Chains A and B, each alone.
Chain A
Amino acid sequence: MSVLVEVQGLKVYFPVRRFLKTVGVVKAVDGVSVALEKGETLALVGESGCGKTTFGKALLGAVKPFAGKIYFDGQEINSVDDRQLEAIKRRIGAVFQDPYSSLNPMFTIYRIVEEPLVVHGIGSPKDRKETVFKALEDVKLVPAEDFAYKYPHMISGGQRQRVAIARAIISRPEFIVADEPVTMLDASIRVEILLLLREIQRKLGLTMVYITHDIATAKYFSDRIAVMYAGKFVELGPTKDVLKNPSHPYTQALIDAIPDPDPRNRLSFRKVVGGEPPSLINPPSGCRFHPRCPFFMQGKCDASEPPLYSVGPDRFTACFLAEHQS
């Protein structure tokens, strides 16, 4: 296996302005490292505001890091010149959360899906037509000619998200960032779209980052999982292992909080940690989870930041409880 995308010590900060003055920074991503193997799907999970989208945008080259490096197939995307960056961007696709606002309502489905080819100057108009129809078939919008000349408002939300996927794969990217691709869709269609993404990802051998706050879907649609809390990865490992046997107290807290459909649930209380996700402007000292953690060790967890300890094959956790395990 070889590495396609490598992130080293990534930090993305946003200025907080009040009356035109910068009064602080939001540390949206604050020191994240991970390497993605070709063909694997990494799920990125965590609560609202923990920095998932910002991490995804950094991978797409859409926000500039404050520090750290992002290598795509060996090239550092923020050090290359514009022409090289353009060439890299051709090899990366994106699917976003909102199938309503992400498609231009004035364009036909055909034009929307064709656009990346036009932008990157790929193929003649005739070649492009063939490619567009093929992509529509890949996402099961068939017969393709029925959909190609419709406008976004004429199709359902699930079909719109298929169009977004078709657009993302049209230039045959090697890497896709899918940011909450099914969150806005009805429960009954979510699984269908995820299965489709998975099928396409396998067929084309794509490397993928699947961003979601829905851990149950991550369980079925990813190979590895990264759990993010307040701008940091707190746990990283093979999805099945992490969910079956979480090693970070925050991962455990997330899992405890999520019910499966079971009528016995109503008969008992759910084990749940208190508190709220912290501010990213003034995050807690030491381990950022320490104010909510049931295993908090005074003088240790609030004094210094736990590093990512290795805790088993391919598994990492940023918690002092693992200090002697590794």
Chain B
Amino acid sequence: MLLRVENLFLYYESERGIVRAVDGVGFELGTKETLSIVGESGSGKSSLALGLIRLPPKNTAKYAGEIFFDGLDVMKLSDEEFRKKVRLNGIAMVFQGAMNTLNPVIPIVKQVAEPLIQGFNIPKNEAHQKAVETLSYLGIKPEMASRYPHEFSGGMRQRVAIAMALVTNPKIVILDEPTSALDIITQANIMNLLKKLKNEIGTSYIFITHDLALASELADKVAIMYAGRIVENGPAEKIFNSPKHPYTQLLIESVPTLRAERVPKFIPGAPPDLINPPSGCRFHPRCPYMIKGKCEREEPRITTVDGDVRVSCWLREEM
């Protein structure tokens, strides 16, 4: 396994109390594999990403767990070792909204070349050359490379943000909602580009999205996140075609489809509060199959069903 995460926690301090944004998360990612992490807004997806690259915010209340990457025990590395062995060309990240945080006064080619110059002491002209190549691979012509971010459309700026992550040839790229601010057609263009990267370069991806349809464009495996936890994780075919967790089932049924003739259903209730999450299974207040006396009392363990699907639900534990 290229990446193995176990029991990862990331809690925040807030005025109202402790926010349990990532609450005991574990998963694995293989070489050349794409895992999509799908969950509603506030379920802890971005927090999980921050935890993976050791960037807990200032108001973090708890940050713990185990992360093994390419033979390294990531949480035990010193900051310097982590920067050198993991951040520079191990795990890169395209942050949520990255296309809006490009530096407005620096030409894009310089911004893309920056990690090569800073991190690898590559001579300036060589780094520029590599940056131009990467940009052009992503569909930004060399003559555009010396321009400034405001001269680019949203879709082009998103390509620049992806170039900044790819330029160091990382083994894993984390993409946090890389298309959610873009137009439908531009989004489809970026998804095609990501597919091309996936086929042509042997990178692994962690693709974070709230949109199941979009996840299916890229994911080999899907992890469904609910209230700070992964409730189901397995191969894309099994998650989409025979979901095991009631939340996954309802989530899939709630997607309005353009082609299939199926009236979408909704999930009753509201997403939970991460400061006071429900007892037992966190989905129990919204679950149509809730077993009284059990689901609201005890937390279901993670069990393996259907060969390689990991699910945490009492219905599955009893089978």
Task: Kindly state whether residue B212 has any CB partner on chain A within 8 Å.
Answer: yes
Of B183, B241, B254, which is within 8 A of A187 by CB? B254
Partner of B188, one of A192, A272, A277: A272
The answer to whether A188 touches B263 (Cβ under 8 A) is no
Task: Please give the distance in Å from B102's CB to the nearest CB on chain A.
Answer: 18
A217–B184 Cα distance when bound, in Å, is: 14
Indicate whether A127 reaches chain B with its CB closer than 8 angstroms. Answer: no
Determine if A188 and B216 form an interchain contact, defined as CB atoms under 8 angstroms apart.
no
A188 touches B251 (CB 8 A): yes
Looking at chain A's contact residues, is the secondary structure mostly helix, strand, loop, or mixed?
helix
The smallest C-beta distance from A282 to any residue of chain B, in angstroms, reads 15
B236 cross-chain contacts in A, Cβ below 8 A: 263, 266
Most buried by B among A243, A254, A261: A261
Chain A contact residues (Cβ within 8 angstroms of B): what range? Answer: 35 or more
**Residue pair B185, A273 in contact (C-beta under 8 Å):** yes
Is B270 within 8 A of A189, CB to CB? Answer: yes
Do the beta carbons of A269 and B195 come within 8 Å of each other?
yes
Q: Which residue in B41, B183, B196, B250 is a CB contact (below 8 Å) of A277? A: B183
Instruction: Decide yes or no whether A281 CB sits under 8 A from chain B.
Output: no
Cross-interface CB contact of B254 among A47, A188, A215, cutoff 8 Å: A188
Minimum Cβ distance to chain A for residue B261 (Å)? 9
Complex partner residue of A219 from B220, B258, B267, CB under 8 angstroms: B258
Q: Which of B184-222 contact A (CB under 8 A)?
A: 184-189, 191-192, 195-196, 210-220
Residues of A within 8 A of B260 (CB): 260
Query: CB within 8 Å of B: which of A254-270?
Result: 254-266, 269-270
B:277-312 near A, CB below 8 Å? none
In chain B, what residue has the closest Cβ to A156? B270
Q: In the complex, which of the residues A186, A192, A264 contacts B268, with contact meaning CB atoms closer than 8 Å?
A: A192
State whether the Cβ of B57 lies closer than 8 Å to any Cβ in chain A.
Answer: no
Contact between chains at A262 and B240 (CB < 8 Å):
yes
Indicate if the CB atoms of B216 and A216 lie closer than 8 Å: no
Q: Which residue of B lies closest to A155 (CB)?
A: B270
CB atoms of A187 and B211 under 8 A apart: yes
Q: How far is the CB of B246 from chain A (nearest CB, A)?
A: 12
B220-248 vs A, Cβ < 8 Å mask (1 yes, 0 no): 10000000000000001101110000000
Top 6 closest A-B pairs, CB basis?
A192-B266, A257-B188, A216-B256, A263-B236, A188-B267, A191-B266
Query: Interface residues, chain A, CB within 8 Å of chain B?
Result: 47-48, 156, 158-159, 186-192, 195, 213-217, 219-220, 243, 253-266, 269-270, 272-274, 276-277
Instruction: Give me 18 other A-B pairs in contact (C-beta within 8 A), A188-B40, A191-B266 excluded.
Output: A186-B41, A187-B210, A213-B184, A214-B256, A215-B258, A254-B184, A256-B188, A258-B184, A259-B213, A260-B216, A260-B258, A263-B219, A263-B239, A266-B34, A269-B195, A270-B188, A270-B192, A273-B185
What are 22 A-B pairs at a CB distance below 8 A? A186-B271, A188-B254, A188-B266, A188-B271, A191-B264, A191-B265, A192-B267, A213-B183, A215-B184, A219-B258, A253-B185, A256-B188, A260-B216, A260-B257, A261-B213, A261-B257, A262-B213, A265-B217, A266-B219, A269-B192, A276-B155, A276-B183
- Residues in B lying within 8 Å of A, measured CB to CB: 34, 40-41, 153, 155, 183-189, 191-192, 195-196, 210-220, 236-237, 239-241, 250-252, 254-260, 263-268, 270-271
